[in-house]
């Protein structure tokens, strides 16, 4: 699973990196977060056809950077508490699961990350956290889904009437990453971003096939190093969480 990650880029950096259009920029800017946990507000990149009162203003989707809550709440949910249990969606079943299939059909997104954390089991009950990140310092584009949930207890003109949430899609960990954890976030290659985000795709299941967007990077793309168990506590949040443990150099071998 993917239950923690780091996202410290400034808004303007993400707007440039993901080529967000001017009318897709959020007013708010999130603070750097080195310990992103479920239910927090996060950035998500999506493409949406502009609408006013349900009427489409254009046929062309606009690439946007939106602030959403991590933990997907399906539109049919009775209350938003279900989101805490839907932080990940397995790629193997995402097209069929009732909680995800409608979002997978037309509400796919990218979730920017500087890297993510996983915990390797050690002898006994202890687990060692690792930070897994691009070797070149670039941004990871994690595959995600987003959904809108309407709060029946709020007035139609209440700005909190609608809640936008998301989930991270996971897949089998590749190569040596599997020695840390058997699952990892599914990554989307830059040249497939537009296809993945396009809500007009008639057969989204084709995106998951052999020609789909699963990360197929060359050697040296991702690296991992052990970090302090301070990351275990979500109240700890700072760049020191990303630092290798004292005396533990960054692993020479790339994960993939």
In a domain, 76, yes or no: yes
Query: 67-76, pLDDT tens digit by residue?
Result: 999 999 999 9
Q: What is the DSSP string of 15-28?
A: HHHTT--GGG--S-
230 within a domain of the structure (yes/no): no
Distance CA 142, CA 120 (A): 21
Residue 115 has pLDDT above 60, yes or no: yes
Q: Is residue 26 part of a domain?
A: yes
Phi and psi based region of residue 239 (left: phi greater than 0; alpha: psi -120 to 50; beta: remaining): alpha
Looking at the chain, the whole-number percentage of residues with pLDDT higher than 70 is 87
Backbone angles phi, psi at 158, to 5 degrees: -75, 125
* Residues contacting 195, CB < 8 A, separation 6+: 201, 207, 213
Instruction: Look at 135-149, 203-217, 223-237, 240-254 and tell me which has the smallest mean pLDDT.
Output: 203-217
In a domain, 133, yes or no: no
Give the list of residues 6+ apart from residue 119 with CB closer than 8 angstroms, or none.
Answer: 127, 128, 129, 130, 180, 181
User: What is the structure's pLDDT at 100?
Assistant: 97
Is 34 a member of any domain? Answer: yes
Residues pairing with 60 in the sheet: none
pLDDT at 176: 56
Q: What is the pLDDT of residue 158?
A: 84
Residues serving a catalytic function are 2, 118
Q: What is the mean pLDDT of residues 167-191?
A: 85
Q: Please state the domain count of the chain.
A: 1
Give the pLDDT mean for 217-239. 87
From 118, 116, 115, 185, select the one nearest 145 (Cα to Cα). Answer: 185
**CB neighbour list of residue 79: distance below 8 Å, 6 or more residues apart:** none
- pLDDT at site 22: 80
Q: What is the pTM of this model?
A: 0.90
Out of 69-83, 102-116, 205-219, 237-251, least confident range? 205-219
| pLDDT attached to residue 178 | 64
Any domain includes 185: yes
CATH, residue 96: 3.90.1680.10
Q: Domain for residue 200, yes or no?
A: yes
Min mean pLDDT across 51-60, 156-165, 211-220 is at 211-220
**pLDDT at 16 exceeding the cut of 90:** yes
Q: Residue 252 — pLDDT band, cuts 50, 70, 90?
A: very low
Q: Does the structure show a pLDDT above 60 at 210?
A: no
Domain assignment present for 132: no
Dihedral (Cα; 12, 14, 16, 21), 10-degree rounding: -90
| Host domain of residue 184 | 5-122+139-218
Q: What is the pLDDT of residue 217?
A: 43
**pLDDT at residue 214 tops 70:** no
Residue 93 has pLDDT above 90, yes or no: yes
Q: Give the pLDDT band of residue 54 (cuts 50, 70, 90).
A: low
Q: What angle do CA 222, 118, 235 make, to 5 degrees?
A: 120
Q: Which of 20, 112, 27, 3 is nearest to 62 (CA)?
A: 20
């Amino acid at each position: 699973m993917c239950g923690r990650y780091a996202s410290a880029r400034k808004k303007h950096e993400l707007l440039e990196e993901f080529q967000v259009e001017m009318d897709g920029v959020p007013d708010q800017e999130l603070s750097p977060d080195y310990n992103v946990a479920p239910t927090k507000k996060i950035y998500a990149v999506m493409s949406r056809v502009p609408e006013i009162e349900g009427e489409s203003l254009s046929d062309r989707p606009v690439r946007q950077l939106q602030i959403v809550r991590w933990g997907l709440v399906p539109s049919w949910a009775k209350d938003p508490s279900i989101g805490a249990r839907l932080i990940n969606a397995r790629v193997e079943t995402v097209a069929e699961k009732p909680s995800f299939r409608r979002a997978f059909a037309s509400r796919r997104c990218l979730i920017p990350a500087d890297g993510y954390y996983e915990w390797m089991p050690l002898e006994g009950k202890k687990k060692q956290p690792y930070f897994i990140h691009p070797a070149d310092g670039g941004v990871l584009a994690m595959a995600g889904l987003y959904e809108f949930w309407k709060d029946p207890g709020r007035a139609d003109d209440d700005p909190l009437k609608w809640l936008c949430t998301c989930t991270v899609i996971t897949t089998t960990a590749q190569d040596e990453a599997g020695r840390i954890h058997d699952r990892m976030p599914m990554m989307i290659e830059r040249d497939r971003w537009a296809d993945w985000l396009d809500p007009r795709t008639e057969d989204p299941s084709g995106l998951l096939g052999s020609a789909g967007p699963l990360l197929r990077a060359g050697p040296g793309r991702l690296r991992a190093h052990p970090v302090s168990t301070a990351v275990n506590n979500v109240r700890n949040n700072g760049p020191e969480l990303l630092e290798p443990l004292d005396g533990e150099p960054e692993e020479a071998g790339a994960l993939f």
